[in-house]
Structures are given as C-alpha cells and as structure tokens.
Amino acid sequence: MLEYPIFDVPLLGGSGLIAVMAIVHVFISHFSVGSGFLMAAAERRAIREQDSGTIAFLKQYSWLILLGPYVLGTVTGVGIWFTIALVAPRAVSILIHQFVWDWAIEWVLFIIEGLVIFIYAFRWDKMDPRKHNRLAWIFAFTSLGTLLIINAILSFMLTTGSWQPFDAGVMNYKGILNETYLPTAAARFLISLALAGVGAIVLVSWDRRTSEQTRNRIVSLAFKFIIPALLCIPLAGWTFSQLSDRAQTFLMGGAPAMVLFLGFGMAAFLTLSFAAIVSMVRKDFAVSSLGAILLGLLAFIAFGAMEFVREGVRKPYVIEGFMYSTGVTAPGFEDLDPRGNLTHTQRAGILSASGWAVPSGVEPASLAGAELGKAVFKAACLRCHSVDGYNAIRPLVRGWSQETVRETLDKLDEVKPAMPPFPGTDREKEALAEFLMTLNANDDE
C-alpha cells in the first residue's frame, strides 16, 4: 500500500530537500574516505623522513576530519534518513528489508571509524608513531568499506542485476553484484582521493604557520591524489554502457539538463586533473588561498554534477524496473504488491492506496473536481513536484488548456520519458487536470 504519509516541504519540496542534504553529506563522506588514505600515506612518509612539519600539519588535518565528517557528516546523514523516509518511504522500506545485513555491517564499520579517528586525533605524541600510523590505515580501510557497501545499494537502484524481490539475506548478492557496481565503486574511490587532495590544499594554503617546504610537500602529495580522477572519464563510459536504453537515451540528448550536468562534471574532472598534472610537471606547488578555493569549487561542481546525473538517469524509477518515483510498483509485481501496484492503482485509483492524501474523516469517493485533484496531486506528484518552488508544477502547466493537460496525463510516460505512467483512474486524471487549471487561474490573477 501507499499508506505512508509524504512530507510536503513548501518551495523547496521533498526532492529538493533530499538533493541539498544528500549533496552536502555525500561530498563530506567521500572527502572523509580519501582523507584517511592521505593522512595514512603522509604520516608514514613523515615518520620515515622525520618530517616534523608534515606531522604538525596532520595534527590539524586530523581535527578537520574529526570535526567535519564526524559532526556535520553525522548530522546530515541522519537528515538524509529522515527526509528520504518521509519523501520515499516505500523505497526506503524495500532497501532496508533487502539489504538489512549490509546496513548493519556499514554501521559497525562506521562506529569503528568514529572511535579510531577520535583516538587518532587525541593521541598524537602519546603513542608510538608507527602504531599511531596504523590507526590512520585502519580508519582509511574501514571508511573504504562503508563506501563500498553504500555504493552497492546506490548502484543497485540504478541497475538491479539479477535481483528479484525478495532476494534478501545471503541472496541479496544478486542485487549487490549488479552491472554498474564495479565502475561506480572505482569512480567513487578515485573521487574520494581527489576530494581529500583538494581539502589538504585548501587547509595548507590558509595555514600561514606551515613552512613553505612543508606546504610544497603537502601540495605535491595532494596533486598525486587528484590526478587519478582522470580515470573517472573512462569509468563513466563503462557505467554508461551498462545503463538501460532509456537512461542512455537521456544522456544522448533526450534529457538536456542531464546532458548539461554531465558535460559540466566531465569538464570539471578534466580541468582538476590536468591542473594537477601541469603543476607536477612544472614542480609548481605554490597555491594561493584564492586558487585553493577555486579548486574546491571545481571539485564540488564535478562531484555534484555527477551525482545529479546518477539520480536523474534512474527516472522514472526509484528502483530500476521495479518501483516508480511515485512509490507504485511496476506491472508484473501484482502478486507481490496487490494494492500499490500500477495495475491495481490504475483500476481502483491511487487514492485507494493513499488514504493519507485525503482529508481526515473523508472518503475518496465523496470528493470531486479540484478538491479530488488536489488529493491526487498529493498522492501521485508530491514526491517530485511542489506547487511553487523547486521542480514546481505551476510554471509547467502555465498557458495549458485543461484538454492539453488531460491528454498529457493519458500518455505521460510517452510525452515525458522521465515521468512514470499516471497511476490513477480516468476520473482521477480529470480531477487532477481540473486542479492544475486552478493553478493557472491563480497565476492569471
């Protein structure tokens, strides 16, 4: 059933709130993964060469990791769970039930990460340097473990492999070992290293207490972490080759916004990597504060753009081939989901499975016209659209006639391939069209 209530966020919308929260959290978490390896490698070299300047820098860097990813990262991580559970509760329920043991392992690794980075940041000069360095490597590999697990679930939503509902428990390997897992896991790791390198450059460029020699050594190591991001280009091609025909069409011009963001992401990765290569060849490790900020913005644009594309190419599904963005399951899963399946909702109505969208104490059958359409909008559209604001519906129907809206709803998934089929009855289509016309009327006033 679709009996779960949906979070209505004015202006920003549920999907906009998820986007903001997710980009911030994912950026921080990937930075944390790469930073573990940068800290471990830099400290190991500093111990071998008795480089006290690098050790002094790493003391600050470790505090950045502790206070950044493990304070702000934790808060935004909880925020993601809160928002997605309210905006897409059925999808979250499926993912939790199918991958419960993977989530459990990820949380164990996360707890180990938190303990290790806490000890690492507080035990400088209080334990044997080599043992202290081992903590950094433990942190690095446990962080990588969480990345690999989360990526398995994210890539599953994009390409489900040989998974069938409900291949839970041990059998969920069918979903984890999906077609895009390897290229996306490799790309995420390389991006993590690049973000760590950029973060180190930003920090050392603003810290005027660090000597020029130490600054050059840190920047040189950071560039070595950034350069491999160039491999994200062929990895993106590998991922593209495994996508559905529909998703490939989006990226070949069918969805201009996705093509634009893909171009921005690719260009940003190329610029970032080539800037590092040129600096390494010229042995020019002097980076101004402004230059460091620009590198940070470039990294954020590259990563944010690619995440936007990953989310976009899944449309109209939230889980490829299984569940639409409306929360309704695709045809063929009637036995598994008798009330929330598209076949049922198109026959009995989307409101038959979405009682929360109807005013308390009111039966859906008693509603009519725009009032019924408003309830249908809440049940079928609110996950992705707001009335005004992010992905607003009002400007999309501005100037349309009710007949045009009605005909569009009849072939919604054909007219707009990123949209799922309308999940309700003809009566609900008529009502939704009438409600959308009230938005046009308000716009004209």
Q: Note whether residue 368 is domain-resident.
A: yes
Res 4: pLDDT: 66
- Using the 3D structure, point to which of 261, 289, 324 is the last residue of a domain: 324
Residue 108 has pLDDT above 90, yes or no: yes
Under 8 Å between Cβ of 63 and 39:
no
| CA-based torsion, 10, 16, 18, 20: positive or negative | negative
Residues 258 and 406 in one domain: no
**What is the per-residue pLDDT across 327-372, written as a single tens digit (0 to 9) for each?**
899 998 988 888 889 999 999 999 988 888 888 778 888 888 899 9
Residues 303 and 357 in one domain: no
**What is the per-residue pLDDT across 236-256, written as a single tens digit (0 to 9) for each?**
999 999 999 999 999 998 889
DSSP 355: G
Residues 296 and 200 in one domain: yes
Under 8 Å between Cβ of 288 and 295:
no
Residues 414 and 311 in one domain: no
Calculate the alpha carbon distances from 148 to 141, 184, 189, 262, 289 in Å.
Answer: 10, 9, 9, 23, 33
Residues 413 and 367 in one domain: yes
Residue 260's closest CA among 290, 301, 289?
Answer: 301
Calculate the alpha carbon distances from 1 to 89, 328, 330, 340, 407 in Å.
Answer: 11, 9, 13, 5, 27
Residues 362 and 279 in one domain: no
Residues 104 and 234 in one domain: yes
pLDDT over 70, % of the chain: 97
Q: Which domain holds residue 356?
A: 349-444
CATH number at residue 426: 1.10.760
Q: Note whether residue 333 is domain-resident.
A: no
The model's confidence at residue 444, banded by pLDDT at 50, 70 and 90, is very low
Cis peptide preceding 316, ω within 30 of 0: yes
* Tokens coding 31: 């930075």
Buried b (16+ CB within 10 A) or exposed e, 301-320: bbbbbbbbbbbbbbbbbbbb
Q: How many domains does the chain have?
A: 2
Residues 295 and 429 in one domain: no
Residue 86 has pLDDT above 90, yes or no: no
Residues 310 and 356 in one domain: no
Half-sphere exposure of residue 365: CA atoms within 13 angstroms, side-chain side: 1
DSSP 330: P
- Using the 3D structure, point to which of 324, 340, 375 is the last residue of a domain: 324
Cross-strand pairs, 341: 329
Calculate the alpha carbon distances from 400 to 61, 322, 393, 415 in Å.
Answer: 56, 32, 12, 15
Res 297: pLDDT: 87
Q: Note whether residue 102 is domain-resident.
A: yes
Cα-Cα-Cα-Cα dihedral of 224, 225, 226, 232, to 10°?
Answer: 120
Residues 46 and 124 in one domain: yes
Residues 71 and 35 in one domain: yes
Cα-Cα-Cα-Cα dihedral of 425, 431, 437, 442, to 10°?
Answer: -140
Residues 60 and 172 in one domain: yes
Q: What backbone phi and psi angles, to 5 degrees, belong to 4? A: -70, 135
Q: To which residue do tokens 């490790």 refer?
A: 285
